[in-house]
Structure 1
Amino acid sequence: MNSKLSLPAFILTFFLIFLNSCSKSSDNDPTNSNTSGPTSISIVSSTGSIILESQTSITINVIGDDNINYSNSSTIYVNDIAITGNTFTPTEVGTLEFYAKKGDLTSNSVSVEVTSGIDGIVINISQGSVKINNNITFIAKDNFNNNITSEAVFYVNGAAISGSTFNTSVYGTYEVYATYSNINGDFQSETVSFDVYRFTKKALVEDYTGTWCGYCPRLAYNLEQAEQQHDEIIGVGIHSGDVMETSYTNQLESEFGINSWPNGRINRTIVWNESVSQILAYLNVNPGLGLGINSSVTGNTVSVDIKIDYDLETNGSKLVVYLLEDGLIYPQTNYYNNDPNSPWYQTGNPISDFEHNNVLIASFTNIFGDTIPDGIVGQEFSTNYSISLPSNVQNTSNLEIVAFVVKSSNGTVINVQHSAIGVEQDFD
């Protein structure tokens, strides 16, 4: 049987073959893009004006006459300087001229006005008070919160200073303000006060403890570490229920609510969480006063001279003077003997040769303080005490004096000083 294609069938077959055949021309490639490119380009700016201090970027888009965005393949110029990308953040006031180039094509120019919006400045200081011969730093900011410190001029007590830090050996209250000038005019901040003081603020930490207390080695260790790290931290051990207990223990425990052990108190009234950072938070302030100590042991008499000087007027205060002894060896109950994370691990329970330091053994004053005259700035107050050497003292060379001034109203320590027996400690 002969097979023949009819004319219509032949035409249809030829057409299908043509549709499924490749052509040397790419005109029919559905994936082919327009490769001829634009014949002209123009730019559009995201804004016609901008406030310098807002730190906002200007975006430039390059559009071809074929309505395609060519920003990524074009070079954009700002005041005839090529930039990277199509965004620009101005750094000064003035007029910015933008244009773009793509190959041989150059766009139109667009102007953007950069103006200043500053209408005021503020001044900040690194701290409200600083010890003599230490730097205090000033910072100036505009009303957009931009830091303009390097462009501002600072005046301390009316005199311009160089830079933004101030240092003086003269104590007292100072005032500082800043000035700043730009195209909008001259600006002056408000005036801020700060104190320059002479005396180091120190912290008293009292450790309520006992040799029977198995948890007490923990606080003793933490306090010892704090003292070793910071000279401004002064520790005192107040013993209860053991051979080192004094007649003052019950009074102190009752007054300051001590009903568990160990128990730490910062400046007598603040519960210590055993972190160093908590103590340090109380140091960077002007104490308003400083103490000096001189002491001696003559025969069976312990004598101490105390002097107090003032940077600030101080009303209603009392003086407390302790006698301490270091190096007392007594067995200490230790609940951390089996704790591998404790410094007291495998040291025994009890620790037979535990060294107790900073132990309160006597007070020259009332345990809550003797009233002293109101403090007058620059006027030194001095007093002296003598007591009989306590019979339980083991080694007079291990004696120490701790003196501190407290507020009469609540018993909180204002400042504290310490010194080994026979060693004069001046104001610091």
Structure 2
Amino acid sequence: MHAYITMKKNFILIVAALLIVIGCSTDYEILESQTNISLTADKSVQVIGNPVTFTVKDAKGDELTEEAEFYVDGNKIEGNTFTSDVVGNFEVTAVYNAVTSSPLMINYHDGTGINFRKRMLIEDYTGTWCGWCPRVAHAIELVHNQTEDAIAVAIHGPGKNPNDTGYDPYTYDTSAFETAMNLAPGYPKGYLNRNIQWAFPEPNNINQAIALTQGENPKLGVAMTSSIANGNISMDVNVMFGKDFSNNLKLVVYVVENGLIYEQHNYTSYYDGVDLLEDYEHNHVLRDPLTGMTGEAITADQTKIGQTYTRTFNVAVPANVANTANIEFIAFVIDETGRVINVRKSSPGETQEIELL
């Protein structure tokens, strides 16, 4: 009888344990901790009476919009769209699992202004020899997972001599420019909109880049029309102005190349922590700045509201380009401080329209 009671107790304990395990696996889900979320809007400037739609993503680029809550000027709204019938600026935040996004501003106007789609530039000073440089490359990938409005260029350096430890076959010497701009020494370094240093560690600070695609829209837009034939580039770069600019504007145009295969040293934990990264694909590599690194001046009489400035290029494809099929063009306008006002990327054969809002 005693043995029977003991067996019965053991059976009850086993069943209870199983119920606890089953209950835990059924009722609870372990959620991945989020410490950083990104909030973006499909429009930073909108005409009154029309909606703005918000999106929330995590650092990996996975969308969290349906689970997030949205607040406009501190007041919770239903869903992820907002419409205003009055002119003004509104501060928007999102909350997901008790994590609050950085705020962004949206502006409602009455339709009389001229605004353009806002894009931002990332300049990545890098090298194939530089083991810490994949950190910035990874951060750029994270930014591109979040937005199509970030345009990157990889500026390789500093060595052209194969016998040097700093040799990079894609080197474009920008040392004089870096000195003139008072850029930080060493590699890697990332700069946003030309003269804002990307905070270290860049993969943890992607919101710094994404924030530059949000907020007040620029008052100028860029569009390109181009073709390549018989080893020559023919291109028109058009810049339209939505207000009178009295300061000294400059146009900068890059030729970049994608799909370049070469080894990359890697001392980081990214890319599985492998060193060397053999057959690594290097993209948006600077091949030649058609205007020089500092750009060409746009005369003040061509920067008035409603005007379109056109710069025509008829030049040979840079000799260092490996495959013309992988060329892209990047054009941007900088102000008198050297900061990018707006930027655009284009492929050969593309005819772009100005991105008016």
Q: What is the TM-score when the length of structure 2 is the normalising length?
A: 0.64
- Match of residue 424, structure 1, among 333, 341, 351: 351
Say which SS state the counterpart of residue 331 (structure 1) adopts. strand
Residues 270/146 of structure 1: CA separation in 2 closer, same or farther (3 Å cut):
closer
The alpha carbon displacement at 1:237 in A equals 0.3
Residues 164/291 of structure 1: CA separation in 2 closer, same or farther (3 Å cut):
closer
Task: Indicate conservation of the 8 Å contact 2:228/2:348, yes or no.
Answer: yes
The alpha carbon displacement at 1:343 in A equals 2.9
Query: How big is each residue's C-alpha offset from its partner over 1:311-351, in whole Å with a ceiling of 9 and x where there is no partner?
Result: 12222200000000001111111113xx4xx3332x3x221
Query: How big is each residue's C-alpha offset from its partner over 1:195-254, in whole Å with a ceiling of 9 and x where there is no partner?
Result: 85431111000000001110001111110221232111000000013111124x213321
- Match of residue 263, structure 2, among 296, 317, 331: 331
Within 1, Cα distance between the matches of 2:282 and 2:74? 55
Residues 379/210 of structure 1: CA separation in 2 closer, same or farther (3 Å cut):
same
- Match of residue 231, structure 2, among 300, 322, 339: 300
Residues 353/314 of structure 1: CA separation in 2 closer, same or farther (3 Å cut):
same
Residues 206/131 of structure 1: CA separation in 2 closer, same or farther (3 Å cut):
farther
Say which SS state the counterpart of residue 263 (structure 2) adopts. coil
The alpha carbon displacement at 1:164 in A equals 6.6
Structure (1 or 2) with the larger CA radius of gyration:
1
Q: How does 1:212-227 map to 2 (within 5 A)?
A: 212-227=129-144
Task: Indicate conservation of the 8 Å contact 1:132/1:198, yes or no.
Answer: no
Within 2, Cα distance between the matches of 1:228 and 1:203? 15
Task: Indicate conservation of the 8 Å contact 2:46/2:52, yes or no.
Answer: no
Gaps (5+ residues) in structure 2?
A: 1-40, 54-72, 76-81, 90-106, 160-167
Aligned to 1:130: 45
Query: How big is each residue's C-alpha offset from its partner over 1:263-304, in whole Å with a ceiling of 9 and x where there is no partner?
Result: 000011001122221112222212110000111111121121
Aligned to 2:341: 414
Within 2, Cα distance between the matches of 1:297 and 1:230? 29
Residues 279/207 of structure 1: CA separation in 2 closer, same or farther (3 Å cut):
same
Task: Indicate conservation of the 8 Å contact 1:131/1:199, yes or no.
Answer: no
Residues 259/393 of structure 1: CA separation in 2 closer, same or farther (3 Å cut):
same
Within 1, Cα distance between the matches of 2:195 and 2:134? 22
Q: How does 1:148-297 map to 2 (within 5 A)?
A: 165-166=84-85, 194=109, 196-240=113-157, 241=159, 242-247=168-173, 249-256=174-181, 257-273=183-199, 274=202, 275-283=205-213, 284-297=215-228
Say which SS state the counterpart of residue 143 (structure 2) adopts. helix
| More helix per residue | 2
Amino acid of the structure 2 residue aligned with 1:419:
S
Q: How does 1:39-188 map to 2 (within 5 A)?
A: 130-131=45-46, 135=51, 165-166=84-85
Amino acid of the structure 2 residue aligned with 1:401:
F
Amino acid of the structure 2 residue aligned with 1:426:
E
Residues 405/393 of structure 1: CA separation in 2 closer, same or farther (3 Å cut):
same
Within 1, Cα distance between the matches of 2:251 and 2:74? 48
Within 2, Cα distance between the matches of 1:267 and 1:323? 17
Residues 258/302 of structure 1: CA separation in 2 closer, same or farther (3 Å cut):
farther
Within 2, Cα distance between the matches of 1:199 and 1:276? 23
Within 2, Cα distance between the matches of 1:255 and 1:227? 29
Aligned to 2:16: none
Task: Indicate conservation of the 8 Å contact 2:115/2:218, yes or no.
Answer: no
The alpha carbon displacement at 1:416 in A equals 0.4
Residues 193/366 of structure 1: CA separation in 2 closer, same or farther (3 Å cut):
same
Q: What is the TM-score when the length of structure 1 is the normalising length?
A: 0.54
| Aligned-pair identity (%) | 36
Q: How does 1:350-389 map to 2 (within 5 A)?
A: 350-374=276-300, 375-389=303-317
The alpha carbon displacement at 1:392 in A equals 2.0
Residues 292/146 of structure 1: CA separation in 2 closer, same or farther (3 Å cut):
closer
- Match of residue 390, structure 1, among 293, 303, 318: 318
Gaps (5+ residues) in structure 1?
A: 1-125, 138-144, 148-162, 168-173, 177-191
Aligned to 1:155: none
Within 1, Cα distance between the matches of 2:180 and 2:319? 27
Residues 223/388 of structure 1: CA separation in 2 closer, same or farther (3 Å cut):
same
Residues 224/386 of structure 1: CA separation in 2 closer, same or farther (3 Å cut):
farther
The alpha carbon displacement at 1:131 in A equals 4.5
Larger relative contact order (CA 8 Å, sep ≥ 6): 2
Task: Indicate conservation of the 8 Å contact 1:206/1:266, yes or no.
Answer: yes
